[in-house]
Amino acid sequence: MKRFFFVFLLVIVNTSLFAQVKFARLFSDHVVLQRQKPIPVWGWAKPGEKVKITLATQTLNAKADTEGKWSVKFAPLETGGPYTLSVSARSGNATVNDVLIGEVWLCSGQSNMEWPVSAANNFQQEKQNANFPQIRHFKVEHHVTLTPEKDLNAGEWKIASAETVGGFTAIGFFFARELYQKLNVPVGILHSSWGGSQIEGWISKEAMLTNDELKSYAQNLPQTWEEADLIMDAKLRKQLFKNTSYTPTGEDEQKYLSGSADFSDWQKTADPIGQWDWKGLMGFRGKGYMAREIGIPADMVSKETILSLAENDSPNQIYINGKLVNEVSVKGAKKITLPANTWKTGKNVLVIKLGNMVGNAWFGPGFAGSANDLFVSEGSQKISLAKDWMLMPSFAEKHEFAHLMNNVGTSIYNAMIVPLIPFAVRGMLWYQGESNAGRAYQYRQSFPLMINDWRKLWNDEFSFYWVQLSSFGAENNSNTGSRWGELREAQNMTLSLPKTGMAVSTDVGNPKDIHPTNKQDVAHRLATNALKLDYGQNISYASPLYDKAQFQDGKVVVSFKHAENGLAVKDRYGYLKGFEIAGDDKVFYYAKAEISGNTVVVSHPKVTRPTAVRYAWSDAPEDANLYSTDGFPASAFRTDSWPGLTVSNKFE
C-alpha cells in the first residue's frame, strides 16, 4: 500500500512539474518586444487552468486550452523598459526580467545571414563598438521536424557587448546598430537561419498546396524520417545514375576498386576537403569511395614514394591501380610509405574506400583538414592531389541520411519558424538564394510565395527586405548565361510585392568566396530601406533599378528608378562597363555605354538594330560599375525575356 501511494504521489508531482505554468521560449530575460503594435504573449499551463499575465501596467487573464496552451495580446506600447513580464496560476509562477519595448527584426536565410560578426571584416575593431545594452540577439538553434513544433527547445536573448557580439549574425547586428544609433530605441534581433538551406525548407505545407508547381511535392511529403531517407536515397541515385530504379550491388561496387572503373557517374568535386554534404551528396552517412587519376613521371616509378592523405579516421582501404596497398585507421593526416614500383608511368588510379568520421560522427564521410595534406612525393618532387576528385557513396552497404536542412521541404519552417509565430516584429531581413540558383526561374514563384505565407501566418503585412545575391564564381557573359543572374532577376521581380526592399551587393562580394566578409555595407543598405520606409527618414535608400528601354537609331536608352539625383561611374578610368547588347540573332557583345543624365545610352557597331540590353549578367560581374550619385550600385538587369539556363529546373 505504501509503495502504491509513493508511485501515485510521484505521478502527481511529475505531472505538476510538467504542467507548471510557463512562457514560450522567446519570452525570456532581456527580450525586446515590438513597440506600437499589439504584443502577443503565449505559453503553457495545465489544461483548462486560468492564468494571469502582467506586462508593465497591463494585466490580462486567459485560460489554457485542452493542450495546455494559453495566449493573450497586450495593447501596443511605446519605447520603454526595463519591465517585467509575469504569469501566475495555481500551478506556479514565471517571470521574465529586463524586458524592453523597441524594434524587432527577424533575420533569416542561409549562411550569409548566419555569418557571425566574429568572421566579418574588422572584427577586433567592431568588438570595440559593440557595447549596446539595448541591442539584444536571440539565435534559433538548427532543427528540422516533419510536423510543426510547438516551442523552441533552446535559445536565449543575449545583450550586445564585446564578449557576446562575435556570435551574433553580422548582417543583423550591423543593421541593428545603425537603427539604434539613428533612432535611439532598443532593437531585438530574432535570428533564425541555416547555411546552405533552400527556400523550400522555409515554406509551409499549406502554402505549397496553393502553388501549382509545389502542390504535388506538398501532397507527397514523407510522414516519417524512414520515408524521408528512402526519398533522399532515390534522389541521390537519380542524380548519380540518372535512374531511381538502379541500385548498385556489392559486386557492382567491388568493380570501383579494380583500377579500370568507369567514373563517369561519380560526383565530381574540385576540392575534396570538407563534408560531402557540400559537394552534392547532401546528408549521406555511410561508407563510400573517393577516386582520382594521378600522372606519375617515369623517374618516380622506381623509387619509394610518400602518399599523403588528409584526415578521415575511419578504416581506410587504399587501392592503386586495382591493388590494395594499405589499410589504415588513424586520426589526423596520414603519410603512407609506398615501395618502389607501386606506381606506373603515366596515368594511375587511386581509390580510397572509407566511412563516416569516427571522432566527429556528424561530419560523415570525406576528408577533413587541409588540401595541402594531399600529395605524392619523392625527395624534392611533389605532386599535389588537392583538386579534381570523384566521390561515390556505397548504396550496397548499410547507410542513412542525416536530418539536415534540405532533406525535406517545409521541415525548417516546422521547427524554426512555427515556434516564432506570432511574435510581433517590425519586419524581416532575408539573405538566401545561393542554394536556389539552379532553380532561379522557379524562385520567381517560391520567393513571393514564402513572403506572402509568412505575412499571412503572422497576420501582419510587415516589411520584408532582402539582399540580392552577391558576386561568386565565373565572370561569364550573356552568351553563356548566368544562373546567379537569373536568381537576381527573380529577386528584382519580387519587389512588385508591397512593403519590400532590396540591398544590391554585387560590388562588395568576393568571386572566390561565397561568403564575402564585408557585411557592414550590406547591412547599411538594408538599414536605409528601413530608415526610409519604416521610420520615415528623408534619405536616399535604394539602388538604381531598370525601368524601361527605348530602342532607336542603333542605340538603346535605358531609364532607371531610384536615379532621380543622377547616375555615376565608379571607376578610376571614368567609363561604364558591364553592359552587353544584342540584336534579333541573340548574340551579345560587350557594349559602349555612356551616362546621359539619369539614363544610360548603350550601343555597339556590330549591332545596328539592337533588341536587348543586359547589365551585370554574370555570376560574378566584377566589372559592373554603374552607381547612383547617392552611392548605391545599380542592380543587374536585362530587357529581354529569352529563356535562360534554369527555366526547366524544378524542386523535387
Domains defined for the chain, CATH in brackets: 248-401 (2.60.120.260), 547-634 (no CATH)
User: Measured on CA atoms in the order 140, 278, 207, 497, is the torsion positive or negative?
Assistant: positive
- Which distant-in-sequence residues (6+ apart) come within 8 Å of 310 by Cβ? 272, 273, 333, 367, 368, 369, 370, 371, 373, 374
In which band, very low, low, confident or very high, does the pLDDT at 19 lie, cut at 50, 70 and 90?
low
CB of 411 within 8 A of CB of 232?
no
User: Cell 561565397 belongs to which residue?
Assistant: 514
Pairing label, strands 427-431, 381-384: unpaired
Please state the separation of Cα 586 from the chain's center in Å.
34
Backbone torsions φ then ψ of 34, nearest 5 degrees: -70, 130
Give dist(CA 578, CA 492) in Å, integer: 18
Q: What is the pLDDT of residues 282-333, one digit of tens each?
A: 999 999 999 999 999 999 999 999 999 999 999 999 999 999 999 999 999 9
Give dist(CA 253, CA 257) in Å, integer: 8
Cα 418 to Cα 32, 145, 203, 513, 618: the distances in Å are: 19, 11, 10, 32, 36
Q: What is the pLDDT of residues 435-457, one digit of tens each?
A: 999 999 999 999 999 999 999 99
Which residues are bridge partners to 107 per DSSP? 191, 429
Closest CA to 338 of 378, 282, 292: 378
HSE-up of 265 (CA within 13 Å, CB side)?
Answer: 18
pLDDT at 115 over 90: yes
Q: What is the pLDDT of residues 560-573, one digit of tens each?
A: 999 999 999 998 88
**Exposed/middle/buried for 483, CB within 10 Å: 0-12, 13-18, 19+?**
buried
Pairing label, strands 334-338, 305-309: antiparallel
Sheet holding 637-638, edge to edge: 588-590, 579-582, 612-615, 637-638
Pairing label, strands 92-109, 187-193: parallel
For 311, which DSSP code?
Answer: B
Which residue type, as a one-letter code, is found at position 467?
V
pLDDT cut 70: percent of the chain above it: 97
Range 275-286 average pLDDT = 95
Q: What is the pLDDT of residues 202-260, one digit of tens each?
A: 999 999 999 999 999 999 999 999 999 999 999 999 999 999 999 999 999 999 999 99
pLDDT score recorded for residue 17: 43
